[in-house]
A and B are shown apart, each in its own frame.
Chain A
Amino acid sequence: MSQNKMIKPLTFTLKEKLIQRIDLSALIPNQLEGKPLEKIAKIKIAVGNKKLTVEKLFDIGGEDTQKIIFKKAVDLFDSIGRNMNQGSIEVRGSVGDRAGQDMNGGELTIKGNAGDWVGTGMRDGRIEVQKNARKFLGGALPGQSHGLRGGTIHVFGDTGERTGDKMRRGMIVVEGNTADYTGSRMIAGTIMICGQAGSNTGFGMKRGTIILSDQPTSMPATFNECGSFELAFLKLIFNSLANSNQRLKNLKENSSWVTRYVGDLSIKGQGELLILQ
């Protein structure tokens, strides 16, 4: 066994029940690289309106700063993986808002639920939410021009409203359902929904692609049907997803025949809703 395999992941286990929200953006592989455990223990973390050291909040174990594990995570854990650009973070439990914000590489795995704005401003890397995510997944923060800008977000469960709002590039895969206004104001990129999409899917879409396994609850009246086509690029997307994730391996068998709707024509949009046949 190589020496590398012997190094245990750096583990942060929550000591006590949190009352206030906590900003964990400082605990990312690129920030911790090369730092001794003693220094990591002294890093100050914002908890509500106070700042507490890591050692006060967490039991620290392991030493591999490129593989970080958070244990006993709760939905007050905000900004986890923010600005991360290498390595991996695994969260055992749920997280709060803005997980993976402005990420530029690496892997963030959330074993529970996620809050709002997962992957907002993300440019590269991969986020996996193994349960549900709330609103604005891959969406833009207030005042920001773009949501997701690159990389992949994969949600095993459902997502809330405005999934992919103002996303600019990248890929969102939702295995479950999405709530209303999926892909609203989308600029480019691809969203794939294996379950049911809510009403007003594609509202204000400029460009980009939303792939749906079924008709959404409703789409704006300003979408026009183009007909049914076999689109070669879908095969590439399906193969890519199937090869990168065992859960999606069945996508390889998917047909590339779709019914294509174009919109949102109210803003001269050239986005597309592709409903699989």
Chain B
Amino acid sequence: MKINGVTIDDTFAEAFPMKATRIIITALNLKWAYHSANAMTGFATSVIACGCESSIEKELKPSETPDGRPGLSVLLFTMSKKEMIKQIQNRVGQCVLTSPTSACFSGMHEGEKLALGKNLRYFGDGHQIAKKIDGVRYWRIPAMDGEFLVEESTHMTKAIGGGNFLVLAENQEVALKACEKAIVAMKKIPDVIMPFPGGVVRSGSKVGSKYPTLPASTNDAFCPTLKGQVKSELDSSIGSVMEIVIDGLSQEAISEATRVGVLAACSLGSKKGIKRISAGNYGGNLGPHHFHLRKILK
């Protein structure tokens, strides 16, 4: 299969079950909503060492937010409920509560209920005020800039993490350009995030390592500098590989993000240096969700 001269490998991305929640952050203006959301989703690229994977899903117009101010929706993915509870409390407590003019709401109203402002309210030292509006409880926590308004609970749903595709190109510059195009297109798809810096990851990993304590190590089969040294997946025309990792709320959302992302990456064409699109998997034995590139792009 070829798109614009770019070969689509007959392979699949292997993804895993995760837990997810959506949180809405609003502020006086979009600039301050971004300050808060960027802090909250910082250091949240991979569950391997960050505890969660998180990113901004989309911008929200004032008409789309509960308090009529500009806002952002943030998706947060973890491997367990326990970790989700911890990550929400720490990140909202340290990054949203602290951010001037912010307010914080649940962006999901189905699934298991988890504390959002329920514990943060104690920051109010007894001066916090509860308000139940349309059956939803909110907390007003007095802060130095006025009041922090936060919904008492958010909801957690089943989700999928680790959808991905690889862009194989002649060199770094072309690979990055294709990935940037892909990310622009993928950001328009709801229910997904690409949690790595700028949405792109350069250090794809394989399971295991020669060092027994490490659970994962560099994906040597796709490292261009190791061609001729290890059993490489790359031919001589490929000088750089980059990966886009996708976490999503549903299989459909990840498939659609993969589809638009690959098409956008391929729009540069083989003549400009994009050679192949592949995907990362572990032989299909570890993750229950498989995203076959050729099926998605059919």
Stretch at the interface among B124-132, B196-204, B240-248, B257-265: B124-132
- Residue A270 at the B interface, CB < 8 A? yes
Interface residues of A in 179-238 (CB under 8 A from B): 188, 190, 207, 209, 229-233, 235-237
- Residue B138 at the A interface, CB < 8 A? yes
Closest A residue by C-beta to B66: A236
Cβ contacts A to B, 30 pairs, < 8 Å: A150-B132, A169-B132, A188-B130, A190-B131, A209-B131, A230-B146, A231-B140, A231-B146, A232-B67, A232-B69, A232-B103, A232-B147, A232-B149, A233-B67, A233-B140, A233-B147, A233-B149, A235-B67, A235-B68, A236-B66, A236-B67, A236-B133, A236-B149, A237-B131, A239-B66, A240-B134, A244-B134, A270-B127, A270-B129, A272-B129
> What class of interface size applies to chain B in its complex with A?
10 to 19
A237 to B136, CA, bound (A): 11
A175 to B78, CA, bound (A): 48
Q: Pick the most buried of A229, A235, A244: most chain B CB atoms within 10 A of its CB.
A: A235
Interface residues of B in 144-166 (CB under 8 A from A): 146-147, 149
The answer to whether A237 and B67 touch across the interface, beta carbons within 8 angstroms, is no
A236 to B66, CA, bound (A): 7
Given contacts A239-B68, A270-B127, contact A233 B132 (CB under 8 A): no
The answer to whether B129 and A231 touch across the interface, beta carbons within 8 angstroms, is no
Write the B90-109 contact mask toward A (1 if CB under 8 angstroms, else 0): 00000000000001000000
Assuming A229-B146, A232-B67, A240-B133, what are 4 further A-B pairs, CB within 8 angstroms? Answer: A190-B131, A232-B103, A233-B140, A236-B67
Interface residues of A in 153-197 (CB under 8 A from B): 169, 188, 190
A233 to B152, CA, bound (A): 13
Interface residues of B in 227-277 (CB under 8 A from A): none
A232 to B138, CA, bound (A): 11
Closest A residue by C-beta to B139: A233
The answer to whether A207 and B103 touch across the interface, beta carbons within 8 angstroms, is no
Q: Find chain B residues with CB under 8 A from A190 CB.
A: 131
A235 to B129, CA, bound (A): 16
Residue ranges of B at the interface with A (Cβ–Cβ < 8 Å): 66-69, 103, 127, 129-134, 138, 140, 146-147, 149
Interface residues of A in 240-261 (CB under 8 A from B): 240, 244
A9 to B131, CA, bound (A): 36
A272 to B142, CA, bound (A): 13
Q: Find chain B residues with CB under 8 A from A231 CB.
A: 140, 146-147
A274 to chain B, nearest CB (A): 11
A169 to B137, CA, bound (A): 11
A235 to B67, CA, bound (A): 6
Q: Find chain B residues with CB under 8 A from A150 CB.
A: 132
A154 to B144, CA, bound (A): 35
B4 to chain A, nearest CB (A): 48
B207 to chain A, nearest CB (A): 47
A231 to B138, CA, bound (A): 13
The answer to whether B138 and A236 touch across the interface, beta carbons within 8 angstroms, is yes
A187 to B233, CA, bound (A): 70
A264 to B117, CA, bound (A): 27
Closest B residue by C-beta to A237: B133
Closest A residue by C-beta to B132: A169
A237 to B67, CA, bound (A): 9
Of A209, A229, A232, A239, the residue contacting B129 (CB under 8 A) is: A209
Closest A residue by C-beta to B65: A235
A233 to B104, CA, bound (A): 11
Q: Find chain A residues with CB under 8 A from B69 CB.
A: 232
A150 to B67, CA, bound (A): 23
Q: Find chain B residues with CB under 8 A from A188 CB.
A: 130
Write the A106-143 contact mask toward B (1 if CB under 8 angstroms, else 0): 00000000000000000000000000000000000000
Closest B residue by C-beta to A190: B131
B104 to chain A, nearest CB (A): 10
A237 to B133, CA, bound (A): 6
What are the nearest 8 A-B pairs in CB distance?
A232-B149, A232-B67, A235-B67, A240-B134, A236-B133, A240-B133, A235-B68, A232-B103
A233 to B134, CA, bound (A): 12
Q: Find chain A residues with CB under 8 A from B132 CB.
A: 150, 169
A229 to B148, CA, bound (A): 13
Closest B residue by C-beta to A238: B68
